[in-house]
Structure 1
Amino acid sequence: MPIYLDNAATSFPKPEVVYRASDEFMRKVDVNAGRGAYRQALEAGVGCSFMKELRNWPRIYLK
């Protein structure tokens, strides 16, 4: 049985930039990605897809 450890979700304290980005998102956007067809939800979905690709960047491009 695989065990998934998400250090970013459980680490404390987080870097200040993480708190600032989270606060800015909650104040300015605060939509559910992929849960609607309106502009902000679609943009959030694109942002999530981009971050998923970026997360894989070292494994893809630094082989």
Structure 2
Amino acid sequence: MGIEEAILQEVREQGLTQGQLQAKIQAIQKVLRRGKLTLHEIAEGFEVSLEFVRQVKSDKTPR
């Protein structure tokens, strides 16, 4: 599953607006850069799937 597919799935599951989604992605990227939490902790904290966090982590382009 690519980043776009993961994002679209998350949007459908949570009913997020595009702006809310971008804010969530940016916040997850910031937490990932700090490197203090595990992927599981990030997924739980942001109420997203582990796969979503992995996709955000693997995507190096800014949103």
Could you say which TM-score interval applies, normalised by the shorter chain? 0.3 to 0.5
Higher helix share: 2
TM-score, structure 2 length as denominator? 0.32
Structure with bigger RCO (C-alpha 8 Å, 6+ apart): 2
Query: Which of structures 1 and 2 has the bigger CA Rg?
Result: 1
